[in-house]
Structures are given as structure tokens and as C-alpha cells.
Chains A and B, each alone.
Chain A
Amino acid sequence: MEHVNKNRLEVIPRDPAKIKKIWLTALILLVITAVEFVLAFTMERGLLLYFLFIALTIVKAKYIMMEFMHLGDEVKPLFYSIIVPLIFLVWLIIALMKEGAEIFVMRW
């Protein structure tokens, strides 16, 4: 019987609001990248600039994961089972930055 229903998927018309939101997200991502680009050449290199770069990158990551990958639309347990394990990375950052700084002291 299955082949009878073949090619009978009903096409739902476009929802302009949804498509507009996708392009808006794209615009936000591109504007943030442009801002990063401008900052790279106008601000003095230093901790403040690095902090800004990382903050803007995390904002971009949030938009990609929530708007493009629709993680925000998944049920809460799935959402947290992806987000919460990232806590382990905080430790890795602290540990390896300390390690790198110690090697620097040993070497120079």
C-alpha cells in the first residue's frame, strides 16, 4: 500500500516571519564578525581586547546553537545534557593556562 502514497507529501507554504528571522540572525552574525574585524585594527592588543573577542565569539556561538541548530527548541533535559558537560572545559582552560605559564617560567 505504501507506494500508493508516494510523492504525496503536502507542501506547506513559506512562513515569511520564520525566513525573516533566519536572515536577521545571519545579519547579526555578520555584523558581530565585522565588529571583531574593526576592533582587531583599532584597539590596542591586550587583555581587554582579548576579553571582547571571546565575549563576541560566545555571543555568536549562542546565536548559531540557538537559532540555527534549534537547541533552544529541544526539551530541557536534552538542552542541559549538551550545555552542562561544557563545565568540564572550564577546568581544562584553568589547568592548561597555568601549565603553559609554568612552562614559560621554566624556559625563560
Chain B
Amino acid sequence: MSSTAIEIQSKRGVWGGGNEPLKASYGKLMMWFFLLSDIFTFTAFLITYGAIRVSYPAYSGEVADFVSSNQHWPIPEMIFDAIPFVHGGHFPLVFVGLMTFILIMSSVTMVLAVEAGHRNDKKDVVKWMLWTLLGGMTFLGCQAWEWTHFIHGTDEGVVMTYVNSFSNIVTETVHGANLLVNEYGPAPFAQLFFFITGFHGFHVTIGVVLLFLAFYQAAVGVYEDRGHYEMVEKIGLYWHFVDLVWVFVFTFFYLI
């Protein structure tokens, strides 16, 4: 009985319409190719980080004796060592480890939402979307704290000689970071920090907006009426990508 249908299709030809190229819907396909272009953007950033980093001398002493200077590239575990509510403590990479944990967990709840979407289970989709949304917002909050701490810096600060915005060479105590000078290392260190984690945070922000959209629409039954939960799947792809990028940012910015 299906032979007639197949005959009509073959007469139409591959380019005659009614086909699904690559067996994926238009939206999913475009999301994949957008993500491919975004992979290029983020890899370009991270490789730029690597290139600028190797163009500066590495710190050569013992890790424990590390002192900040704009003459060598900082060791991340000695820079990112603060946690909220504890003033001036030394907890290397603890906070950023927590942020990684939060983002990976929100990726897990996202994939559970997508799985529930495949089963048309509205209740489960709404539940897991809400968890994912919560994870995303918590991550953004953590990043806001991380940035605030990075910008304000330590109480002591570090004495540095640098060229200020009036093109004068000055020697003074530097607190925290801006685009011109920072107490952690050479100026590009803070510039790249703001640039790369900022661009990632911008992606997370858009992701949170999309997650809210999917959560809301799933809750009021838009996808139920539509007959499928593909939007959850597409937003899921984007959200996993944000997690994927963070995995690389974590390695290149905080570990290496």
C-alpha cells in the first residue's frame, strides 16, 4: 500500500521538495550549523589566549612562592582562590570547580527534559526545565560574583610599574583589574579574562532567556498543542553547547 507513495516521491526527485535533508528538521539542522560557527568563534578566542600567553614569559619558581607581576604570566590556581563569605582566604579553584559542577548538572537536567519531551511527558519536561533554569541562573550569579571579586582584587594589591591612560610610566599599588592594568599579571591576562568569560557569560544569559521561554511554553501547553517538543530539543542543543564551551574555558583558563 505504501508502494504508490514511494513511487510519487521518486518521481518528484530529491530536490522536488517534501524531503528532510540529513533526516533532521530545519530548525535542528540550522541550530547545529550555528553551533559549528560558534565553535569556531570560541576556539579562535581560546587559541588567541594560548598565543598571547606563550608570547609572555612563564613563571618559573615554585608554585607556593608565586608573586604577581606584569613581567610573567600568572598561575591560575594562585589567582582564582577566593570563595564567597570568606574574606582573604586561599581556596584555589574551589569556586570555579563549583561553577563547573553547577553547569554540568544543569546540562544533565536539560538532557532529562529533552528525553521527557520525546515521551510527550509535559509534567517531566516542566520539572526538568525548571531545574535547568535554576542551574543556569545560579551559574550566572556565580559568574557575577567571580567578576566582582576579580575587578576589586585583594586588600593589599600589588605594586606595579605600567603605562597609564595618559601614556605616563607610573609605579603604584594596583588593586583588582581593569582593561589597562591588573594586579594579577600582564594587561592581556585581565583583558582575555573579561573577553572570553564575558562572551561565554553572554551566551549563558541568552541561554537562560531561551530556557525560560521553553519552560513557560511547555508549562502553558504550547508544545502539547503543537504536538511535539522539538523546541526543547533545539534549546537543549544550545544549552549543551554552552556547557561544552565552559569545559574548554575551565581547562584553558583555570587549569593550564
Q: A40-B77, A93-B50, A100-B55 are in contact. List 17 more A-B contacts (CB 8 A).
A: A7-B224, A10-B120, A14-B119, A22-B108, A22-B111, A40-B93, A53-B251, A57-B248, A74-B24, A77-B22, A88-B40, A89-B43, A89-B47, A96-B50, A97-B47, A100-B51, A104-B57
Q: How far is the CA of A97 from the CA of B44 in the complex (A)?
A: 12
The 4 closest A-B pairs by CB, nearest first: A100-B51, A103-B55, A96-B51, A100-B54
Interface size counted on chain B using CB atoms at 8 A? 59
Among A13, A36, A103, max chain B CB count under 10 A is at: A36
**Across-interface contacts of B122 in A (CB, < 8 A):** 9, 11
Find out whether the CB atom of B112 lies under 8 angstroms from the CB atom of A22.
yes
Find out whether the CB atom of B54 lies under 8 angstroms from the CB atom of A97.
yes
Find out whether the CB atom of B240 lies under 8 angstroms from the CB atom of A68.
yes
Q: How far is the CA of A18 from the CA of B117 in the complex (A)?
A: 13
Task: Spell out B's residues near A (CB within 8 Å).
Answer: 22-24, 29, 32, 35-36, 39-40, 43-44, 47-48, 50-57, 63, 75, 77, 92-93, 97, 100-101, 104-105, 107-108, 110-112, 115, 118-122, 124, 221, 224-225, 227, 236-237, 240-241, 243-244, 247-248, 250-251, 255-256
**Across-interface contacts of A19 in B (CB, < 8 A):** 112, 115
Chain B, residue nearest A56 (CB): B251
Chain B, residue nearest A88 (CB): B40
Q: List 18 A-B contacts (CB under 8 A).
A: A9-B122, A14-B119, A18-B115, A22-B111, A26-B105, A37-B97, A45-B63, A53-B255, A60-B247, A61-B247, A61-B248, A64-B247, A69-B244, A77-B22, A82-B35, A97-B51, A100-B51, A101-B54
Find out whether the CB atom of B120 lies under 8 angstroms from the CB atom of A57.
no
Chain A, residue nearest B75 (CB): A45
Q: How far is the CA of A33 from the CA of B107 in the complex (A)?
A: 14
Q: How far is the CA of A65 from the CA of B32 in the complex (A)?
A: 11
**Across-interface contacts of B97 in A (CB, < 8 A):** 33, 37
B-contact bits for A34-59, CB 8 A (1 contact / 0 none): 00110011000100001001101100
**Across-interface contacts of B75 in A (CB, < 8 A):** 45
**Across-interface contacts of A107 in B (CB, < 8 A):** 55
Interface size class of A (residues with CB under 8 A): 35 or more
**Across-interface contacts of A6 in B (CB, < 8 A):** 224-225
Q: How far is the CA of A40 from the CA of B96 in the complex (A)?
A: 13
Q: How far is the CA of A96 from the CA of B54 in the complex (A)?
A: 10
A37-B97, A40-B93, A50-B256 as given contacts; A74 in contact with B112, CB under 8 Å: no
* Residues in A57-108 with C-beta less than 8 Å from chain B: 57, 60-61, 64-65, 67-69, 74-75, 77-78, 81-82, 85-86, 88-89, 92-93, 96-97, 99-101, 103-104, 107-108
Among A30, A68, A88, A99, max chain B CB count under 10 A is at: A68
Shortest Cβ gap from A55 to chain B (Å): 10
Q: How far is the CA of A54 from the CA of B63 in the complex (A)?
A: 21
A22-B111, A53-B251 as given contacts; A7 in contact with B119, CB under 8 Å: no
Q: How far is the CA of A7 from the CA of B221 in the complex (A)?
A: 8
Chain B, residue nearest A9 (CB): B120
**Across-interface contacts of B40 in A (CB, < 8 A):** 85, 88-89
**Across-interface contacts of B237 in A (CB, < 8 A):** 69
Q: How far is the CA of A104 from the CA of B35 in the complex (A)?
A: 33
* Residues in A1-18 with C-beta less than 8 Å from chain B: 5-7, 9-14, 18
